[in-house]
Amino acid sequence: MEAGGSERQLLYLAQGLDRSRFQPVLYLTYEQGSLLRDLPKDVEVFSFWRDRSPPRWNWPGRIHGWQVQHLLDLLKSQRIDLVYDRLFHMTLVTGPATKRANVSRVSAIVSPPEFDLERTEKRWRWWKRRALARAYRSSRELITVSEGTAESASRYYAIPLQQFLVVPSPVDLERIERLAAKESAIDRLKQNASHSDCKHLLAVGRLSGEKGHRDLIMATALYLRESRAKGLPAIHLHIAGDGPLRKDLESLLCELDIDSQVTLHGQVDNPYAMMRGSDLFVMPSHYEGMPNAMLEAMACGVPLLATNTQSGPGELLRQHPLGKLVPVSDPHELCLAIEDRFEHESKWLARAVKAQIYVQENHSLPGWLQRMQNLFDSAMDQPS
């Protein structure tokens, strides 16, 4: 339960479900993460690895079989009526467990599987693809976060497109407004006289290849190389998030000699204050479902630059011109867009205002909670 988008949405459900209709129980693989401390006290937590250790001798499918049986026993002992799973790793377990227990299930696909599954799963991918296709087909309700993600999953798993239901991700506007008012690292840097005229760029996301941070760093180097001759302001890039590529990115910064103009902040508990204080939010991903960080930045009123992904940022900004789109994996175009941000400021600020209104009207947390509760009721009402 670290502070990712899917984990945050599970927390929203645990906090916001109407207790006269639902009593939530949280099932995790590992009982860890910063969001656990925000769980309501009436939500019981169960974890597969809580009281067990990896086997001395392992073979393909052994641990998976344990997980399915563990969840199956829980479904029976707790008399669970409905299972809601997010992320395909859990669907691999909930699919067979709910089938054996004859328990209704709602599944969510949050990222295009033709990229997500193909990138992350190297072993037994063919089996996982077939198992996931079976699990998703048997789900009472199958939801995705965007039309592009639904189209990708339909192709990849050979599931009719009409079986998917797009449910826009929620944004907790009250919480963001409260936290955005606090002081951030960007605010403290602005107080330094040497940074008074500097513009601040922000990217938020896990430091892994598909998030495109390397492209953004290369674009920043290009901008810094050309900005003085073009009379453009100095910039400082902030990247909030941690992950396996951190050391590689640190080496790249040193290689490009821009480590003093780029800060890798690691995991940040309150990115909203940084969003509010930044001059440009950049989402340089190679693919996305519908990133919460982008919606949250829009809610903070910061101008948005994103890559033209098949779903997620590309899909949203192609339909609604609320920010600037550039091609995926193109540092040069990213650099030109950053230059345009500071050459035509009024245009970017006007789009930011429209983006803030769009999020308020289309991604409210209360509306999402009501829709999810209605979906859960509908799934339990369907015949076996």
Topology of domain 173-362 in CATH is Rossmann fold (3.40.50)
Which position has the higher pLDDT, 3 or 237? 237
- Whether residue 195 is predicted with pLDDT greater than 90 in this model: the reply is no
Contact, 324 vs 343, CB < 8 A?
A: no
Q: Which residue in this structure is represented by tokens 């001759």?
A: 229
pLDDT band at 193 (very low <50, low <70, confident <90, very high): low
- Whether residue 364 is predicted with pLDDT greater than 70 in this model: the reply is yes
- Residue 96 has what pLDDT? 96
- Residue 298 has what pLDDT? 97
287-321: pLDDT as tens digits: 988 889 999 999 999 999 999 998 889 999 999 99
Q: Name the CA radius of gyration of the chain, rounded.
A: 22
Of the candidate CATH numbers 3.90.1310.10, 3.30.43.10, 3.40.109.10, 3.40.50.2000, the domain formed by 5-170+365-381 belongs to: 3.40.50.2000
Entry pTM: 0.87
Q: Which of 133, 137, 157, 126 is nearest to 60 (CA)?
A: 126
- Residue 324 has what pLDDT? 97
Domain range summary for the chain, segments of one domain joined by +:
5-170+365-381, 173-362
- Residue 28 has what pLDDT? 95
Q: What tokens appear for 24 in the block? A: 């939530």
pLDDT band at 111 (very low <50, low <70, confident <90, very high): confident
pLDDT band at 194 (very low <50, low <70, confident <90, very high): low
Q: How far is residue 100's CA from residue 103's CA, in Å, rounded to a whole number?
A: 8
pLDDT band at 224 (very low <50, low <70, confident <90, very high): very high
Contact, 87 vs 110, CB < 8 A?
A: yes
- Residue 383 has what pLDDT? 64
Burial of 241 (C-beta count, 10 Å sphere; 0-12/13-18/19+): buried
- Residue 36 has what pLDDT? 93
